[in-house]
Amino acid sequence: MEAAFQSGIASASLQVILERFATFALNEIGLILGVDDELRKLEKTLLKIQALVDLVEDSHAINNTKAWQVWLEDLKKLSYDADDLLDEISLELSRFKSNSHPQIYTNKTQVRDMVFSTFKLGLPHEISKLQKELEGRLRMLDLSCIGIDELPDSIDHLKHLRYLNLSENRFQKLPESIDNLVGLQTLKLRNCFELLELPKNLKNLTNLRHLDLDVKRQLNSMPSELGRLINLQTLSAFIVGKEKGRSVAELKNMRFLRGSICITNLENVMNVMEAKEAMLDKKPHLNKVEFQWNNFGDRFIQQEVLAGLQPHENVKELQVTNYGGIIFPSWLSDPLSCKLVSIHLQSCQRCTILPPLGQLPLLKSLYIESMGDLVNVDHRFCGFGTVRGFPSLESLRFHDMPNLTAWKGLSPADMPCLLELTIVDCPRLVTLPLLHNLSCLENLDISRCPKLQSLPEEGLPTSLKTLIIVESVILKERCKVEEGEDWCKIKTIQKIEIDYIEIPRRSQRI
% of the chain with per-residue pLDDT over 90: 62
CA distance 99 to 266: 77
128 versus 283: which is more confidently predicted? 283
The string of pLDDT tens digits covering residues 102-160 is 444 444 444 444 444 444 344 455 555 555 655 566 788 888 998 888 888 888 888 88
For the segment 296-313, what is each residue's pLDDT rounded down to a tens digit?
889 999 999 999 999 999
Rounded to the nearest 10 degrees, the angle between the axes of helix 36-58 and helix 15-23 is 170
Higher pLDDT, 43 or 22: 43
Q: Please give the Cα distance from 455 to 464 (Å, whole number).
A: 14
R_g (Cα) of the chain, nearest Å: 33
- Indicate the length of the chain as a whole number: 510
Compute CA distances 97 → 24, 94, 124, 342, 435, whole Å: 14, 5, 21, 77, 96
Mean pLDDT of 340-355: 96
Q: Which residue has the higher pLDDT, 340 or 115?
A: 340
Task: Write down the mean pLDDT value for the chain.
Answer: 82
Distance (Å) of CA 330 to CA 260, 303, 309, 383, 396: 22, 11, 12, 12, 21
The model carries a pTM of: 0.76
- Tell me: pLDDT of 508 over 60: no
* Average pLDDT rounded to a whole number, residues 463-473: 96
Closest by alpha carbon to 477, among 507, 499, 494? 499
d(CA 156, CA 424): 54
The region of weakest confidence among 105-119, 181-195, 333-347 is 105-119
Among 264, 258, 217, which residue's Cα sits nearest to residue 235? 258
State yes or no: pLDDT of 489 exceeds 60: yes
> Any idea what DSSP says for residue 255?
T
Q: How far is the CA of 60 from the CAs of 55, 65, 142, 228, in angstroms?
A: 10, 9, 17, 37
CA distance 495 to 497: 7
Give me the CATH topology for the region 139-147+157-172+179-325: 3.80.10
Contacts of 323 (CB under 8 A, 6+ apart): 291, 293, 302, 306, 345, 347, 348, 351
**Domain limits, the chain:** 2-137, 139-147+157-172+179-325
Distances (CA, A) of 94 to 91, 196, 502: 5, 52, 85
Say if CB 338 and CB 360 are below 8 A apart: yes
Q: Rounded mean pLDDT of 453-481? A: 95
pLDDT at 2 over 60: no
How far apart, in Å, are the Cα atoms of 479 and each of 270, 425, 502? Answer: 53, 19, 13
% of the chain with per-residue pLDDT over 70: 72
